[in-house]
Amino acid sequence: MESLKLLLLHKDHRHRLRSMLVIIAGWLFFLLILNSSSMFDFFVANVDLPALFRARHAIGKDPSLDPRLKILSFDETTFATLKADDLYINEWATLLEAIDKRSPRAIVIDKLFSVLFDPLNEAPEALNKLKKLKTPVAVGAFVRPSRVQGRDPFPLSIDTSNLDRAYKKDDLVLKKFGTSKSNWFVYGPSKDFQSIFKRVGHINSGESIWVDAMIPLSDQSILPHLSLLSSKGTISIGDHLMIEQKNIPIDKKGRILANIAPSNVFFERHLRLAPILEAAKKGSSLEFIESGDVVVILPNMFTGWVDIKPTPLGSMPGGFVIASIVNSVITQNWLQLFGFKKIQIICAILLGAIIGATQGALVFWQTFGVIVGVYLAFTFAVFSFQGIVILWFFPLVGFIGTALSTFAVRSLSEEKRTKRISGELTDAAEIAKAFWPSRLPAWKAFEISAFHKPISEASGDWYAFLESKSGKFFHFVLCDITGHGVQAALIVSTCKTLLNTLRIDRPDYCEEKTFLERYAMFLDNLLYEQGKGFHVVSLLGLTFEPAERVVHCLTAGHAPPLSYSLRDPDSIKLQPLTAPHPPLGVHSSAEFKLKTFPFIRGDELLAYTDGVPIHRNLRTLRQILRERNVRWSDMPRFIFNKIWEAESAKKEGRTCNDDVSLVGFRYTASAMRQPKDSSDTYGDR
């Protein structure tokens, strides 16, 4: 949230904020328009539901069919046995009479019965048998806006369902199930069957497995879906759609979402009609039907007549959708649609915008992946275990689209900013080159060699040489800045500027052997004042006094230089010149004192920064100094390479990742007086 505050409050981010608001508004407008259009049902049927149903199937949570549901189908075998595509009216009467004797709660037939099929002239006897049925029989009808030529519409004045009349005139009916289709036409059972089949339900197909729970034909008549007529009690319509005093979940369009199972579940349970009809004709009892069962008869389950319906689990016969809803009526295992679709979309878009606008690249992709994964896992789990349908596609599209769009705009802004900063850093690096270490001077009595290797264009190592006008003192300063790059180079500028100021404004200081003490004190105060403890510098100061054959040394948080003599190459003795003090810039109250060491003709001195791990490789250094395989001018570079070869051998893959400075001094004393006595030698120091 702190990042979001900065985004909202910082004036430099106003353009990004405007872009984010435009992205939010654009995605809101786009998705809310789609949510209110006919495309919504298309995406639900082809994206949301298939993913949910297939995920549930993958973990083995498909709904099972209740044992009280009996499915009889006019399949390929029945068609081949009867050599007809329908039963005669007397065969229907015989079959239904045999089923009725088993006292089921209802018989549901996925058939219109718009034609009386009576080639044997047995209709009167058969119709008489049908009138005596005690079990409620529900048959189908279809509703369409235009009239079918040659067919008589079904008369709406007939009470064809078990609807509770107390609710038929309620205005809530039209609000729940859409506007009245009073000008539409209903086609169902013919006149011969209208007095027999008291329950008629529509079999109009919806999108995928959605079915209209009710079709309002006028303010006085409602046609329920065929599957709902499998109930024993009445259907009540009020604040809720209820069957046997139990709520039936419907969406805002008055539709039921069938809790469909895979085709194999139905095929394993369906019974072929041919042997059952044969048993009924022989007067045998249909023992597989028990009291309280619901018998669903699917007459069109053979090739050429079966109505194939697309479902989230693939194409399957439309009769299985009816059987699924009947199964839910029996078990009360309904799918419950989670509402607040628009609120979900709005929240997802806002969350995506916040994530895209506030998180860095790595955290963004991690958070993005976690949110998408958790959201999908949650929706699949809730559907599989609780039967709650969360329409996830539009909210997920809103989140992904907004998050990626906002992140892209932010990345573009960051890219432009990075290019600008890169240009500024390039300019700063060019400026920082002015603060690279000084060139080697031509000091009398000394030979100087150096090797400098910055880790970037702006070095954090710096050294300088300063000779007093009298030629009495030769000063050397080596600074190692904490950190790298342009920031370190800017601190180097402070070191160099101070040295030049003292050289120009106070040349008398250079004539004192305590010059480095003054310089260290002034620099320490200046760095602390500028950085309050964050601008830290280690310093090595050397003041050579050839006339006295000594070197004055001061180290502030820096590795001590090494002094040695080559008079006896077989036993080179390395002497660290220690004059320790704390690093500069940590506090402003440090005191600095030089220590004096002998430095006579034939002696050499090696100063270095911590980019060269000499203290861990002294044996290698002694070997280099004994062998002397290179010229003096190339010695520092050679030492650096050999030291790092030894370091890498100790730990494979270890490389130098710091600025490197290595400076060597050789005392030739060609212009100086000779030692006063024989004790003035390296070995007698």
- Residue range 206-245, pLDDT digits in tens: 778 899 998 888 766 788 899 999 987 778 776 778 887 8
Give how far the C-alpha of residue 68 lies from the chain's centroid of Cα atoms, to the nearest Å: 46
Residue 187 in tokens: 């086609």
Which residue segments constitute the domains of the chain, with CATH numbers given? Answer: 2-58+338-419 (no CATH), 69-163+177-206+217-236+255-332 (no CATH), 436-667 (3.60.40.10)
557 vs 579: CA distance, rounded Å: 10
180 vs 186: CA distance, rounded Å: 13
3-state secondary structure 43-71: HHHHHHHHHHHHHHHHCCCCCCCCCCEEE
Task: Sort 263 into a burial class: Cβ within 10 Å, 0-12 / 13-18 / 19+.
Answer: middle
- Please say if the pLDDT value at position 422 is more than 80: no
276 vs 427: CA distance, rounded Å: 94
Predicted structure pTM score: 0.64
Task: Sort 362 into a burial class: Cβ within 10 Å, 0-12 / 13-18 / 19+.
Answer: exposed
459: nearest Cα among 424, 427, 433, 422: 433
Task: Sort 181 into a burial class: Cβ within 10 Å, 0-12 / 13-18 / 19+.
Answer: middle
- Please say if the pLDDT value at position 549 is more than 80: yes
Strand, coil or helix: what is 681? Answer: coil
Amino acid identity for residue 92 in this structure: W
- Please say if the pLDDT value at position 174 is more than 60: no
- Please say if the pLDDT value at position 682 is more than 50: no
537 vs 556: CA distance, rounded Å: 8
C-alpha to C-alpha distances, 649 to 615, 624, 646, 654, nearest whole angstrom:
16, 17, 5, 8
Strand, coil or helix: what is 463? Answer: strand
What would the mean pLDDT of 437-448 be, rounded to a whole number? 88
Asked if 519 and 477 touch (Cβ cutoff 8 Å), the reply is: yes
pLDDT at 661: 92
Asked if 103 and 73 touch (Cβ cutoff 8 Å), the reply is: no
Radius of gyration of the chain from Cα atoms?
48
**pLDDT 10s digits, 93-141:** 999 999 999 999 999 999 999 888 777 788 889 999 999 999 999 999 9
C-alpha to C-alpha distances, 565 to 252, 551, 601, nearest whole angstrom:
98, 14, 9
Confidence of residue 572 (pLDDT cuts 50, 70, 90): confident
DSSP type of residue 614: G
Which phi and psi (to 5°) does residue 478 adopt? -125, 120
pLDDT at 430: 63
Minimum mean pLDDT among 158-172, 297-311, 331-345: which range? 158-172
Confidence of residue 679 (pLDDT cuts 50, 70, 90): very low
659 vs 657: CA distance, rounded Å: 7
More confident residue, 68 or 175: 68
608 vs 662: CA distance, rounded Å: 4
Give how far the C-alpha of residue 179 lies from the chain's centroid of Cα atoms, to the nearest Å: 44
What would the mean pLDDT of 620-645 be, rounded to a whole number? 90
72 vs 109: CA distance, rounded Å: 9
Which phi and psi (to 5°) does residue 609 adopt? -100, 175
Task: Sort 349 into a burial class: Cβ within 10 Å, 0-12 / 13-18 / 19+.
Answer: buried
510 vs 503: CA distance, rounded Å: 7
Q: In terms of C-beta distances under 8 Å and separation of at least 24 residues, what long-range contacts does 441-444 make, across chains too?
A: 441/465, 441/467, 443/467, 443/474, 443/544, 444/471, 444/546, 444/670, 444/671
Paired strand residues for 667:
446
Residue 654 in tokens: 């270890």
Amino acid identity for residue 80 in this structure: A
Q: Which helix (H) or strand (E) holds 453?
A: strand 446-453
194 vs 74: CA distance, rounded Å: 23
Which phi and psi (to 5°) does residue 444 adopt? -65, 140
Amino acid identity for residue 273 in this structure: L
pLDDT at 674: 38
pLDDT at 148: 86
Confidence of residue 538 (pLDDT cuts 50, 70, 90): very high
